[in-house]
Structure 1
């Protein structure tokens, strides 16, 4: 995706029209999943199928291989962060979110995930910072607004 398209989609995330925001959200997710073409997408889907089936090590193996072979594949890092989070490996998940954000600083999924990890670790100030960063990108995301308030009450 070129810079002009990315800039347009990021602006559309802030639009007052929910349909415009939803379309921009969908297009950004699609671009992240398709970053490495059909082959990369199929491997991400296979890892998700394995995760859904409870075959966590097999799912992690696919993601580890993707990351090793294509370290610039942000969504492979993000999917592995999700896997770590589901296993309650919050620090590993946070580290993978950081890797995503080094590649795609506006990845609202990784910003949200970072906030979840920090909140799960009881690091509420850091969680608040992450949720605020996610809201800078996607200001109408109610879940991040809610989680920001919840973390603020825990300080």
Structure 2
């Protein structure tokens, strides 16, 4: 254990590093905050543009190399090549373990290959890094349903619906689960 002076210096250095690294994210956060507010107030048909803008912001890693890995992973997902997608997302995570969008992409790839445990782990990490990631929350709700935990899935979907009320897929899934539960107290 260090001296009190050493501990203070370490704490100050850590704080300065944290503030320094968070400044660009704070600016991005303000943009995303406004977009999330618009999404919460959007009418059906207006929400797709706003959602696209949110994901464009979340997809900015700050590194052209990581952005390229993310794009390659997304392209592989779009092509149905789940294994290659997971490899690209893993490479992005290796370069930047704090990049939530890479975890979300890899969670999707893992889910599509039937690797539910690793998909859950990556969804959890996505939400640790970005607690407002409504698509990661929606994926988590889908897995909860598959694990026969409909009450938990309803709770998660309610949170997603509050963030993105114009999403008819979420509204329909929530309605179906609530009907299935037959009015049971959750």
TM-score, length basis structure 2: 0.73
Number of residues paired by the alignment? 155
When structure 1 is superposed on structure 2, of 101-110 and 30-39 the one drifting more is 30-39
- Say which SS state the counterpart of residue 49 (structure 1) adopts: helix
Gaps of 5+ in 1: none
Alpha-carbon RMSD across the aligned residues, in angstroms, is 2.1
Residues 3-152 of structure 1 aligned to structure 2 (within 5 Å): 3-18=29-44, 20-152=46-178
Contact kept, 8 Å, 2:104 with 2:126, in 1: the verdict is: yes
How far apart, CA to CA, are the structure 1 residues paired with 2:43 and 2:166? 10
Q: Which moved more, 1:121-130 or 1:58-67?
A: 58-67
Contact 2:150 2:177 in 1 (8 A): yes
Aligned to 2:20: none
> Which structure would you say has the larger Rg?
2
How far 1:101 sits from its partner (Å)? 0.9
**Matches of 1:17 and 1:62 in 2, distance apart?**
35
Shift of 1:12: 0.1
How many Å separate the matches in 1 of 2:118 and 2:159?
A: 20
Distance 1:38 1:151 in 2: 42
Q: 1:86-116: per-residue Cα shift (whole Å, max 9, x none)?
A: 1222232222111111111111111111111
Q: Quick check: 1:101–1:107 contact (8 Å CA) kept in 2?
A: yes
